[in-house]
Amino acid sequence: MTHIAMPAVDEAVIGRRDEIVAGLVAILGAEHVIATEDERRAYETDALTAYRAVPLAVVLPGSTEEVSKVLAFLNGTGAKVIARGAGTSLSGGALPSEDAVVLGLARLNRIVDIDYANRVARVQTGVTNVNITNAVAGQGFFYAPDPSSQLACTIGGNIAMNSGGAHCLKYGVT
């Protein structure tokens, strides 16, 4: 079996964990920062469960502005950033490391606009495939990429992984 070589962990970043978490809490509030080991463990892997590492912290921003503030803060810390949607990837798309902050995008789940004439939907990254389809089904449309996890997987993950499914034979992948 071939194993993925994970990046080296920066012990200096781990040593500043409390300081980094405090900075994230100052930006998002404690309710949107997951800091305890038991709660972070839920984010130690995605659907590729052969590799696991409990991340330094998990943040759950609710707007583009909050994402920007978190990234600006983390830029100076040396912490790695791992974007994560629903965590359904079977190819390791959201695997964290111990010196990484997981940027959970599930709260960014709004459908912004649907333009039926041009067949365009503007959605936030955390909108699930099935919610896009449900939103447009009344007009005879659907979101073609249909991975087996379409009830849970999100548009951001679809874009990141170029997701497909059975419909991709006719309509193509993301």
DSSP labels, 55-82? -SEEE---SHHHHHHHHHHHHTT--EEE
**Predicted local confidence at residue 3, as pLDDT:** 67
Structural domain includes residue 85: yes
Q: Name which residue leads in pLDDT, 17 or 45.
A: 17
Q: Is the domain of 22 the same as that of 100?
A: yes
Q: Locate 54 and state its tokens.
A: 């409990």
pLDDT at 2 over 70: no
**Predicted local confidence at residue 91, as pLDDT:** 77
Domain end among 70, 104, 138: 104
Q: Name which residue leads in pLDDT, 66 or 161.
A: 66
**Predicted local confidence at residue 114, as pLDDT:** 97
Q: Is the domain of 130 the same as that of 158?
A: yes
Q: Is the domain of 91 the same as that of 116?
A: no
> Is pTM, for the whole model, over 0.85?
yes
**Predicted local confidence at residue 122, as pLDDT:** 96
Q: Is the domain of 133 the same as that of 81?
A: no
**Predicted local confidence at residue 134, as pLDDT:** 95
Confidence of residue 4 (pLDDT cuts 50, 70, 90): low
Q: Is the domain of 34 the same as that of 15?
A: yes
pLDDT > 90 fraction of the chain, expressed in percent and rounded:
63
Domain end among 57, 86, 104: 104
Query: Could you give the number of structural domains in the chain?
Result: 2
pLDDT one-digit tens code per residue, 97-146:
999 999 999 999 999 999 999 999 999 999 999 999 999 999 999 888 87
d(CA 43, CA 38): 10
Structural domain includes residue 4: no
pLDDT at 149 over 70: yes
Structural domain includes residue 43: yes
Residue pair 106/64 in contact by the 8 Å Cβ criterion: no
Residue 87's CATH number: 3.30.43.10
